[in-house]
Structure 1
Amino acid sequence: MNKMTRELRRSVRSVCALVLALSASWSLTGCDEDAANSPFEEERLKTYIEYLENDTKGEYSEWLKLLETSEFYGMLAARGDYTFLACKNETMQAFYADKGVSGIDGLEKDYVDLLVKTHTVMSKYQSFSFNQGPLSDTTMNGNFLTVKFGQDGLNGLVINGESKVVERDVECSNGFLHTLDRPIEPIGDGIYNTLRAQGEYTILTEAMEKTGLADTLELLTNDNGVRVVYTVFAEKDEVFKAKGIADFTALVAELGAGDDYESPKNKLHSFVRHHIFSGKRYSSALETDILLTVGNTMVKLLKNQEGYFINSKVDDFGLDITEGANSLDLFSLDLQSKNGVVHDMKDVLFEEDIQPITVQDNITDVPELFGKRTSGNDQDVIYTKDIARWRSKGYDQFVYMYQGGNDQLNCYTATAGWFEFETRPILKGKYEITSNFGAGWAVIGCTLEVWVDGVRTDNLIYPGTRNGLIGTYVFEENGPHVIKFKSVSGGRLNVDKITFKPVK
């Protein structure tokens, strides 16, 4: 957009503002003039656009040109609740030089729009409300910005791992303005191309290319049109080289992989899949847990005060970190892409055998179940939400959650009422499965059949039981499992915890 067009748009906006001001003046006819001229009358806050236009030092003139060139100038001059991120002229000149252009007119219009959307968050945040990790609302282009705190706290805020907040908390009538030391590069690529563009992951990205998994890591939707997102644990070249792996060929030799790289049975293919997890897990959501990769292998993640560790030698979720534990780099987390997020490793993540551990699922920790209540009146009521389903069948039946000291799920069932849920991923192995049916005073009030992965067990759970044995099972594959309790007599069905204990 040329200079004349920008000036025309600004003039039109000024005329509109004058009309609005006159309208406001007319509407006040007959009001108390003394009140209108009161010394306590507050000065009206400027909009984001007005603030930039009235900048007496002219430090934001280039950023203002960016906004005027975009299709969002009028919107950002109106009412709203936004967080605005902007850059001063000196920063913009350096940005133009990096892009090989002399000014805003050298940038493509679509790219300008993308820049503006990337620097506008759809809710207003003062800096004190920032938390480590992603903001709770997205930018105008639907992506989350991530926040990291440096050693100086609020004076060391970094957005998306690349742009430092150098001035903050300028209040406008339609949001808050924070100034950055460099523009945030818009997210336009999937994970593979994002890593490749960094130039520091050449060994890993070549492995992705040769195995065919690079294409997978660029997908935005699956064959059914459903959006897909991933989390990748990645090693920079320097991490591989510290292990004596100088290039892609050396990695293949280290793994003992054949040349059929695209075969799922190939060791290189398995190595790459061992780094990929379904779902987007920002650093703020990483907790001590067992994670299932897309290759159906398991990674044991331990979080403590010193950081994040991945170590197959940790026997439990305590603080026993053995020498040589892999770890995530706390200061290189949350590299964003269009279809996921990347976390850096300080060590090479090889696939290793992980010994089964005791896993306990607390049903009442499932947030989707909180506050859910259904009543039957001889109707079937089925609730489905990824992790849990139930049917409360018959007169005056309901499902609800106790909270506080005695958290549990209560389901009053007639015959054939049932409840099922999906566990977290479980390592393959042999387990004794038990269930705790009530916390505190509660015991089960009906007779239950128990089903594991769609197969009915031989054990019945009888009224009055608090802790019941479901059975001993051998799981041949890593992954989650489905537990179902089905009532064969009416009564109260309490569900609290399910425990998987490894046995020999």
Structure 2
Amino acid sequence: MKALSSTLILTLPALLAGCLSGSKPADTVEVKTTDPTDYTGFATIVETVGSGGYHTSAQTFAAAGMVEMLTGDGPYTVFVVRDEAAGAMAPEQLAAGSSAFDLDGLAGYHVIEGRHSIKELMNSPTMETVGGQRLTFSHWNGEVEIAGCGNADFGVGSARVVEGDLQCSNGVIHVIDQVLFPSFDSLADQIEGTESFKTLVNAAQAAGVLDLLDSDGPFTVFAPTDRAFANFDRSAVSYFMAPENRAELVRLLQHHVVQGRYYGDTMHHQPLTTLGGDTLQVKWQSGAAYIGNAEVIASDFQATNGVLHVVDTVLMPTN
């Protein structure tokens, strides 16, 4: 498992902002649109990407095993990059089995289910990609900017649509000016690499829960900070960390994990069932989200296998 860089681990709000917001484009590029109502006889997404100067994108989809999907009925919305703009994608990195990054995650971050026009993107704050992670959309003067998570190694967090609504028989293609990089860290990576989660890491390692958070998931984690544990009853912490009470520690940590991806805007006032079988009540007060009696102080940190929210209080199971 890999840790986040020290630049990121001390700035949770800054990381969140970088993951969910874009910046105003410096110049203006006209977005070309064509939107017929009958797509019979149009080329497929794979055919269009393979013949239109988007060979780097085509190689990425092929290496990720997505050709069959993007040749099928769909529909899908696909974001591609012209070859001259794909500077971060060296040919050797596109080879199957490359360890530079997760090709499946990278390719999936450029595909959304459904046929979504430029107009729809302008009216949709966020959309979930087929890889599970989200893209965020904003627009100025008719232009669409897409904000992704970015990546500590590649540093690309957002892209601008330079040509849109290229219709295909099984979806639509939008051309962007940069490759979008998702998070390549698992939930376990994020927790281990964040300075303010030392106590949580120690507890998760003792309980064997950290391996779970490195598995496929997806999971939603409500992660208490070290300060949250410091405010917790010290005798309770000692009790849970005792080897003979490992089962209780596992249940305590499972009380902070929910199956599935729940972003801040998808868990409004709905109960969530934890891996331990208990229920977490979600409420909103004065613009802040609360999970039980714990305030969510930072949210929507995306991972390969889920999403992480930071809470200021340790959550206790009912019994």
Q: Is TM-score (shorter-chain normalized) higher than 0.5? A: yes
For the pair 1:144 / 2:170, whether they are aligned, the reply is no
Residue number among 207, 217, 221 corresponding to 1:232 in the alignment: 221
Residue number among 80, 87, 91 corresponding to 1:86 in the alignment: 80
For the pair 1:263 / 2:263, whether they are aligned, the reply is no
Partner of 1:126: 117
Alpha-carbon distance between aligned partners in 2 of 1:154 and 1:50, rounded to the nearest angstrom:
26
Residue number among 73, 92, 115 corresponding to 1:105 in the alignment: 92
- Measured after TM superposition, the shift of residue 161 of structure 1 is 7.3
The one-letter amino acid of 1:123's match is G
- Measured after TM superposition, the shift of residue 201 of structure 1 is 6.4
Distance 1:206 1:125, change over 3 A: farther
Alpha-carbon distance between aligned partners in 2 of 1:45 and 1:184, rounded to the nearest angstrom:
29
Deviation per residue, 1:133-184 (Å, 9 max, x gap): 554xx63xxx434233559698344346775341063323232223264333
- Measured after TM superposition, the shift of residue 286 of structure 1 is 0.5
| 1:71-82 correspondence runs (5 A) | 76=70, 81-82=75-76
- Measured after TM superposition, the shift of residue 120 of structure 1 is 3.3
For the pair 1:344 / 2:313, whether they are aligned, the reply is no
Deviation per residue, 1:22-79 (Å, 9 max, x gap): xxxxxxxxxxxxxxxxxxxx9x866545655665xx6x45334445666555875787
Residue number among 207, 210, 227 corresponding to 1:211 in the alignment: 207
Partner of 2:180: 183
Distance 1:337 1:205, change over 3 A: farther
Task: Check whether the contact 1:83–1:176 (CA below 8 A) recurs between aligned residues.
Answer: yes
Alpha-carbon distance between aligned partners in 1 of 2:244 and 2:150, rounded to the nearest angstrom:
33
| 1:161-310 correspondence runs (5 A) | 163-167=157-161, 169-174=164-169, 175-178=171-174, 179=176, 181-185=178-182, 191-193=187-189, 195-196=191-192, 199=194, 202-203=197-198, 204-219=200-215, 229-235=218-224, 240=226, 256-258=237-239, 259-260=241-242, 263-264=245-246, 269=250, 271-295=252-276, 299-303=280-284, 306-310=287-291
Distance 1:66 1:229, change over 3 A: closer
Distance 1:106 1:307, change over 3 A: same
Residue number among 312, 315, 326 corresponding to 2:295 in the alignment: 326
The one-letter amino acid of 1:327's match is V
- Measured after TM superposition, the shift of residue 121 of structure 1 is 3.6
Task: Check whether the contact 1:134–1:282 (CA below 8 A) recurs between aligned residues.
Answer: no
Distance 1:262 1:186, change over 3 A: farther
Alpha-carbon distance between aligned partners in 1 of 2:75 and 2:247, rounded to the nearest angstrom:
52
Alpha-carbon distance between aligned partners in 1 of 2:258 and 2:244, rounded to the nearest angstrom:
19
Task: Check whether the contact 2:148–2:180 (CA below 8 A) recurs between aligned residues.
Answer: no
Task: Check whether the contact 2:274–2:280 (CA below 8 A) recurs between aligned residues.
Answer: yes
- Measured after TM superposition, the shift of residue 132 of structure 1 is 4.8
Task: Check whether the contact 1:211–1:263 (CA below 8 A) recurs between aligned residues.
Answer: no
Partner of 2:17: none
What is the root-mean-square deviation of aligned Cα atoms in Å?
4.6
The one-letter amino acid of 2:135's match is V
Distance 1:151 1:77, change over 3 A: closer
Deviation per residue, 1:363-418 (Å, 9 max, x gap): xxxxxxxxxxxxxxxxxxxxxxxxxxxxxxxxxxxxxxxxxxxxxxxxxxxxxxxx
Question: Which structure shows the bigger proportion of residues in strand conformation?
Answer: 1
Task: Check whether the contact 1:133–1:282 (CA below 8 A) recurs between aligned residues.
Answer: no
Residue number among 149, 152, 158 corresponding to 2:147 in the alignment: 158
Task: Check whether the contact 2:150–2:182 (CA below 8 A) recurs between aligned residues.
Answer: no
TM-score, length-scaled by structure 2: 0.59
The one-letter amino acid of 1:170's match is D
Distance 1:82 1:311, change over 3 A: closer
Gaps of 5+ in 2: 1-38, 152-156
Percent identical pairs in the alignment equals: 17
Q: Which has the higher contact order (CA 8 A, sep 6+)?
A: 2
Deviation per residue, 1:327-375 (Å, 9 max, x gap): 253xx4162433xx22322x4222369xxxxxxxxxxxxxxxxxxxxxx
Alpha-carbon distance between aligned partners in 1 of 2:195 and 2:118, rounded to the nearest angstrom:
31
Distance 1:82 1:232, change over 3 A: same
- Measured after TM superposition, the shift of residue 233 of structure 1 is 1.1
TM-score, length-scaled by structure 1: 0.41
The one-letter amino acid of 1:333's match is D
The one-letter amino acid of 1:183's match is L
Alpha-carbon distance between aligned partners in 1 of 2:314 and 2:274, rounded to the nearest angstrom:
13
Question: Which structure shows the bigger proportion of residues in helix conformation?
Answer: 2
Task: Check whether the contact 1:91–1:181 (CA below 8 A) recurs between aligned residues.
Answer: yes
Deviation per residue, 1:440-462 (Å, 9 max, x gap): xxxxxxxxxxxxxxxxxxxxxxx
